[in-house]
């Protein structure tokens, strides 16, 4: 459940709230309007009451524009269709593949999907968590996503054991802070293989059946670092920008090459999350970035996106959607925003996840 603080923070741009308040103060029946205006005038000057009413109208219009923008985004990212095809999805019959599903966000996704009855194939090099061992909905397949042969072997085993997957969650990812000059060649190869190249290999395994059935959902784990290349994790940010580009191109191919609107496409951009990537920097980020997000929050939002039978771009938390537009600004403003963000975070760690 959203906290009271988050609800209050969101209220000024909620058109239902601001629109209702504006209507009560300007157009509602006199028995409602007059007591409210009398109460306000007892506390504020006449000019300030007028300013308040104008501010409510402006906030109402901004909120309406924001909500309309969200709806249009969803329309565009679902092949220009409003209708969902939920009738095609029977969760007890669906098979999902989740890479890196033994820990962190992946573990939460596995747990959420299994709770809905989905048969989940966990592809990981880590051992399956003990709490999953007796869950008949969860099957473990050892898989090293840096190896195309390991992926091919695991994919074959998934199809033989569970059937053809209709859901693919490319969640596996790594990262650790260091400068470009301190990044070893071996690490660059590893982080790109895990964070983005594996997406190509896994999609090549499972997309053909989705296309044949005109049904499926591919989810890729990107980051807010997709939009800004932060100092200290340039390798990580580069891979996440690549994930975003991958899903943009995937959506275009689904639409124009394969003409299969039933295959859904979602890219996820979480902000700072309490994971091993930020180990040792948790307190610093809590103070400078407004708190770290929990993996269960991210996992639940991704599961809900899958269950909605809609594709999209998930920016978590949603209040950071504004960051997606940073590249539309003039370069001088982009650099000013970046410099301010780094200054806020301090020099010990990058300012964007």
pLDDT tens digits, 163-188: 999 999 999 999 888 899 999 999 99
Strand order in the sheet with 95-99: 138-142, 119-124, 95-99, 167-170, 216-221, 263-270, 312-316
**Which CB contacts under 8 angstroms, 24+ apart, belong to 117-120?**
117/91, 117/92, 118/91, 118/92, 118/94, 118/167, 119/94, 119/95, 119/162, 119/163, 120/95, 120/96
123's enclosing H/E stretch is strand 119-124
Is 348 part of the annotated catalytic residue set? no
Helices (H) and strands (E) in the chain, counts: 12, 7
CB atoms within 10 A of CB 260: 19
Q: Which of 156, 263, 255 shows the shortest CA–CA distance to 217?
A: 263
Catalytic residue among 107, 119, 137, 236: 236
Per-residue pLDDT, 291: 65
Residue 334 confidence (pLDDT): 85
Cα end-to-end distance, the chain, whole Å: 24
Q: What is the mean pLDDT of residues 327-340?
A: 84
Length of the chain: 353
Please report which confidence band the pLDDT of residue 283 belongs to, taking 50, 70 and 90 as the band edges.
low
Cα–Cα dist 145/151, whole Å: 6
pTM of the model: 0.85
Q: Name the active-site residue from 137, 240, 281, 301.
A: 240
Lowest mean pLDDT among 71-75, 91-95, 137-141, 253-257: 71-75
When pLDDT is cut at 50, 70 and 90, the band that residue 125 belongs to is very high
Least confident interval from 38-42, 140-144, 272-276? 272-276
pLDDT band at 5, cuts 50/70/90?
Answer: very low
Rounded CA-CA distance 267/307 in Å is 15
Residue in the structure block whose two tokens are 């103070």: 287
Identify the bridge partners of residue 266 per DSSP, sorted by sequence position: 219, 312
pLDDT score at 279: 61
Specify whether 236 is catalytic.
yes
What pLDDT, on a 0 to 100 scale, did the predictor assign at position 293?
Answer: 83
Whether residue 350 has pLDDT greater than 80: no
**CB of 232 closer than 8 Å to CB of 180:** no
| Local confidence band at 126 (pLDDT 50, 70, 90 cut-offs) | very high
């Amino acid at each position: 459940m959203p906290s009271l603080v988050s609800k209050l923070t969101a209220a000024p741009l909620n058109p239902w709230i601001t629109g209702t308040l504006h209507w009560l103060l300007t157009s509602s029946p006199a028995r409602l309007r007059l007591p409210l205006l009398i109460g306000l005038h007892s506390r504020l000057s006449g000019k300030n009451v007028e300013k308040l009413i104008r501010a409510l109208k402006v906030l109402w219009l901004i909120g309406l524009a924001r909500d309309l923008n969200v709806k249009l985004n969803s329309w565009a990212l679902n092949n220009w269709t409003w209708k969902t095809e939920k009738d095609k999805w029977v969760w007890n019959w669906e098979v999902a593949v989740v890479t890196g599903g033994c820990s962190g966000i992946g573990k939460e996704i596995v747990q959420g999907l299994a709770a809905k009855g989905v048969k989940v194939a966990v592809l990981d090099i880590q051992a399956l968590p003990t709490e999953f061992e007796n869950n008949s909905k969860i099957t473990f397949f050892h898989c090293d996503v840096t190896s195309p042969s390991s992926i091919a072997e695991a994919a074959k085993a998934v199809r033989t054991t569970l059937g053809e997957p209709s859901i693919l969650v490319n969640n596996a990812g790594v990262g650790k802070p260091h400068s470009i000059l301190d990044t070893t060649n071996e690490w660059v190869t590893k982080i790109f293989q895990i964070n983005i190249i594996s997406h190509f290999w896994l999609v090549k395994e499972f997309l053909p059946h989705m296309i044949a059935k005109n049904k499926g959902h591919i989810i890729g784990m990107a980051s807010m670092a997709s939009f800004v290349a932060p100092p200290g994790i340039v390798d990580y940010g580069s891979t996440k920008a690549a994930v975003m580009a991958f899903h943009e191109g995937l959506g275009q191919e689904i639409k124009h090459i394969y003409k299969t609107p039933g295959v859904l496409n979602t890219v996820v951009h979480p902000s700072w999350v309490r994971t091993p990537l930020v180990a040792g920097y948790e307190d610093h980020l809590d103070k400078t970035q407004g708190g770290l997000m929990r993996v269960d929050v991210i996992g639940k939002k991704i599961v809900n996106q899958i269950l909605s039978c809609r594709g999209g771009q998930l920016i978590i938390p949603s209040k950071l959607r504004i960051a997606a537009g940073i590249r539309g600004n003039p370069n001088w403003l982009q650099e000013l925003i970046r410099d301010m963000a780094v200054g806020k975070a301090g020099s010990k760690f990058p300012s964007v996840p």
